[in-house]
Amino acid sequence: MKALVKRRWRRAGRAEADRTETFLKDYEYYCVTACAKFLNRQSAKDHVWHLTDQEGTVSALLLHYGRALLPVFGKTGDIPLPHFMKNFLGRIPIHAVQGLLKDAAILENAMENLGYQAKDRRTYDLMALDKAPAQSGSGEFPPGLILRRPEFTDMDALFPLQAGYEQEEVLPKGAEFNAALCRLTLSRILSNEQALIACMDGRVVGKINTNAAAFSRTQIGGVYVLPEYRGRGIAGCMTTRFAGELIAQGRGITLFVKKENVPARAAYQKAGFSAVADYRISYYQ
């Protein structure tokens, strides 16, 4: 009889960085956020755990970044409960679990067994694009629409869009909008991310930006058009132009969109994006 291969969770240190990276690269297509967090981790604050066998082969990862847990469980079906979870969750508050639906569900069940109850759960279509977007994705270019790079002088004009995006798409149920934090997020986007804005009638009416960069893929998000300008194809124009620029840089593109957001899903599909998996974000605090 073949002996069972014993697996256990281990904290991944600097010596295991190469193994961690190799494992994540195999699943980058489905976990751009986790890969980006790994590449930007701060060892004093963030944690990475491996599920390994006796020979050190990695079959699953769990990343802690900020107040979020990001599971990357690969093809592993039977995930043993990490022995450290109870003590860890007792010391460090967790705000969110984020990852593929199948992975997030495993972690959610483990957390429920430890007394954690999600306050809000959102399921998305994870979509991907790996070639130049279909030019038909933008439809007819709306008269008077100008697409350009944002500048810091656009901060005040962009704030209502970032605020609207966070309130409609980001904040979990019952959470209060924080204007100061929103401005800090917008400043970080303008400083560190690639972005494109849409202008019409002398005002900024739409925005799109990157929000994570992994090994070979970039994730886009923050797509928002002022309510009074929706239905004119602006989001499709922004997505097609922006995605085309990223593809020209040699990057694959990922995004996730709420399943109930039919107009957005249609716009992304017209641009050439395909749904590749179900994605989940669950909020706890």
3-state helix, strand, coil in the chain (%, to 5): 40, 30, 30
Q: Which superfamily, per CATH, for 8-117?
A: Gcn5-related N-acetyltransferase (GNAT) (3.40.630.30)
Return the closest-CA partner of residue 149 out of 114, 189, 177, 185. Answer: 189
Q: What is residue 217's predicted lDDT score, i.e. its pLDDT?
A: 98
Q: How many residues does the chain have?
A: 285
Give yes or no for residue 18 having a pLDDT over 80: yes
User: Fold match between 8-117 and 128-277?
Assistant: yes
Q: Which superfamily, per CATH, for 128-277?
A: Gcn5-related N-acetyltransferase (GNAT) (3.40.630.30)
283: left (phi over 0), alpha (psi -120 to 50) or beta: beta
Q: State mean pLDDT over 206-227.
A: 97
Q: What is residue 43's predicted lDDT score, i.e. its pLDDT?
A: 67
Q: Where are the domains of the chain?
A: 8-117, 128-277
Q: Could you give the CA distance from residue 238 to residue 255 in angstroms, rounded to a whole number?
A: 14
Q: State mean pLDDT over 68-81.
A: 84
Q: Measuring CA to CA, how many Å separate 58 from each of 13, 160, 176?
A: 13, 44, 40
Which pLDDT tens digit goes with each residue over 169-189?
A: 999 988 999 999 999 999 999
Tokens representing 99? 């990852």
Give yes or no for residue 1 having a pLDDT over 60: no
Q: What is residue 41's predicted lDDT score, i.e. its pLDDT?
A: 84
Phi, psi of 79 (to 5 degrees): -100, 115
Q: State mean pLDDT over 203-228.
A: 97
Per the listing, tokens 């990357």 go with 72
Residue type, 265: R
Q: Could you give the CA distance from residue 161 to residue 235 in angstroms, rounded to a whole number?
A: 13
Q: Could you give the CA distance from residue 227 to residue 58 in angstroms, rounded to a whole number?
A: 47
pTM of the model: 0.90
CB 64 within 8 A of CB 111: no
